[in-house]
Structure 1
Amino acid sequence: MSYTAPESEPPQPRPSRSPLRRPLTVALAALVPGALLGWGVYAAVGDDGGGGRADRASAASASSAPAAGRGAAAPDEDAKDAAPLKGKVVVIDPGHNPENFRHPDEINRQVDIGTHHKECDTTGTATDAGYPEADFTLDVAHRLRDLLAERGATVKLTQDGDRAYGPCVDERARIGNQAHADAAVSIHADGSAAGNRGFHVILPGAVHRGAADTRAIVAPSARLGARIADRFAERTGSAPANYLGDGTGLVTRTDLGGLNLSTVPKVFLECGNMRDAADEALLTSGAWRQKAAQGISEGIVSFLRG
């Protein structure tokens, strides 16, 4: 609420003159020259040559300025960073679909991925106990969506268990492209041999053929993948895959339609191997999946903030 002062103040009563006023005026007039002379002498000899007057002026100025926590509030760093992804668009691509197995004809249909034709989608893998990769990817995607939304991002999923099957890999890429995503991540879990453990991030290789042209996204996707790999390892405690990637957790491929057809920075994350008992124990843990989502989220935030 603002307050506007009146344009003019009401006239004030004039105080009566004191009988002592004239003698005091005379006395002060006599004292002023002496005071000025004393100040001149002090100014000439009182400065110790070390900038005393400047220091005193600086100190006076500092003492009159409001100090943080005393008169003026210090900048709120938490408030400044409360929504670091505001204005950013992130597309999350949960791999496969829980209902794909019911639609073999549709998901086996061949689509053009630039380098060659490939099936529309697959059913994905599962743990030995029957926990499907498609259920895993949706769960992590939901957790990741919530974390990114809390940071201010606009988040879009390529599928949310709301489709009969798919979408096909070319449509998954198209969804990210049409959203003009600042980053896109496809979430998966591997189905390798027992004993093969750990996560890896798949980066797009340089492809320029037919409908595919990844040349503009290779470098930013590599940065996105490296940030996710670092944060994912920190949060989950998982190690990079021991069976590919030479221990870096980073693998480049040119045979995946979801990457080949993307025009925005995009990576695939294989969070672990569902067919290894040790990795299975992690992938089937809700607490671990939350850590996984946090690691992915932090990697995306790091990438988008530069």
Structure 2
Amino acid sequence: MSGDGGPAPEARPQPASAVSPQQPQQPQKPPGDAKSGTGQATASASPSQEAAAPASPGSPQAAAPQGLLAGKVVVIDPGHNVGNFQHGAEIDKQVDIGTNRKECDTTGTTTNSGYKEADFTLDVSRRLRTALEARGVKVVLTHQADRPFGPCIDERARIGNEAKADAVVSVHADGTAAGNRGFHVILPAKVKGGAADTSAIVGPSRELGERIAGNFTRTTGSAPANYLGGGTGLVVRDDLGGLNLSTRPKVFIECGNMRDANDAALLMDPQWRQKAAQGIANGIIGFLGG
């Protein structure tokens, strides 16, 4: 979940032509943020055969997109960290997100059977990296569970800023009530306060989010969320430090609801996770002009 350390506010639905949604349920305020659950994980699943393969050197059709994307930088932010639940005092410390202060990080949610969001986000992020690198993109991960906890949300934003990323995507899964299904992409609201000023990234972040949403539903077959976003698959939020502090085009994607049995079955399936990674990659590639 992308609570950034707190419960999600009522989403403000935004229109998006990039998605062909299912008939949505009436939007509603999500229940409390389940990111306060525990989370420790290992990314043990290996990429499926659907993983994007590097282009053949002799293929002129594949060489052109690689050239177009050469020099492009994408930062991938696997939500939470497998060790966060062991470092409650550290991740509870407040950090400045410009408009207010929030927890350094949260632990993330789990499925009812115990599959951790931190497992999911790191696995999908690694698959996403492979797909993008196959197209010539330079990829930076904010972490690989190679640190005891975190990074804090302000550091996650700073990593993207300092990399001068052409796009930043934070990978998550939601933790709301059973029956709430589907994915949604979170876009930055226009905020200004302290170190936060999203005025320059609101437009390009929306384009990035629309492209990811459209490609995600086409590649995975998953519908936009039926519980927020008005069926568009897009939600604008002004309370996420990872978005507020970003100076680069950035979105969060909640790939499904870990607390719904049907969504959870998809999220735990390595083949579906490969499709999810490819859908996100396709959206990023389109945004980058590849």
- The TM-score range, normalised by the shorter chain, is 0.7 to 0.9
Tell me how far 1:114 sits from its aligned partner.
1.1
> 109, 117, 120: which is aligned to 1:133?
117
Tell me how far 1:141 sits from its aligned partner.
0.3
Distance in 2 separating the partners of 1:107 and 1:137: 18
| 1:110 partner amino acid | Q
Give the 5 Å matches for 1:281-300.
281-300=265-284
Distance in 2 separating the partners of 1:148 and 1:223: 18
Structure-2 residue corresponding to 1:204: 188
Structure-2 residue corresponding to 1:96: 80
| 2:91 partner amino acid | I
The answer to whether the aligner puts 1:245 opposite 2:229 as a matched pair is yes
Distance in 2 separating the partners of 1:282 and 1:242: 16
Structure-2 residue corresponding to 1:184: 168
8 A Cα contact 1:207 1:213, kept in partner: yes
Bigger CA radius of gyration: 1
Q: Encode CA deviations 1:209-261: one digit per residue, 9 max, x unaligned.
A: 11100000000000000000000000000000000000000000000000000
Tell me how far 1:77 sits from its aligned partner.
3.1
Structure 1 residues not aligned, in runs of 5+: 1-74
> 248, 253, 256: which is aligned to 1:272?
256
CA RMSD of aligned residues (A): 1.1
Structure-2 residue corresponding to 1:225: 209
Structure 2 residues not aligned, in runs of 5+: 1-58
Give the 5 Å matches for 1:79-94.
79-94=63-78
Distance in 2 separating the partners of 1:206 and 1:255: 11
8 A Cα contact 1:83 1:150, kept in partner: no
Structure with higher helix content: 1
Distance in 2 separating the partners of 1:101 and 1:290: 26
> 235, 249, 268: which is aligned to 2:219?
235
Give the 5 Å matches for 1:155-174.
155-174=139-158
Tell me, what secondary structure is at the counterpart of 1:81? helix
| 1:88 partner amino acid | K
Give the 5 Å matches for 1:10-25.
none
Distance in 2 separating the partners of 1:304 and 1:230: 15
Structure-2 residue corresponding to 1:71: none
Distance in 2 separating the partners of 1:181 and 1:288: 27
- State percent identity of aligned pairs: 69
Distance in 1 separating the partners of 2:61 and 2:81: 41
Distance in 2 separating the partners of 1:83 and 1:279: 37
| 1:133 partner amino acid | E
8 A Cα contact 1:170 1:258, kept in partner: yes
Distance in 1 separating the partners of 2:69 and 2:106: 33
Q: Runs in 1 of length 4+ with deviation above 6 angstroms?
A: none
Considering Cα pairs closer than 8 Å and 6+ residues apart, tell me whether 1 or 2 has the greater RCO: 2
Distance in 2 separating the partners of 1:167 and 1:256: 14
8 A Cα contact 1:84 1:301, kept in partner: no
TM-score (norm 2): 0.79
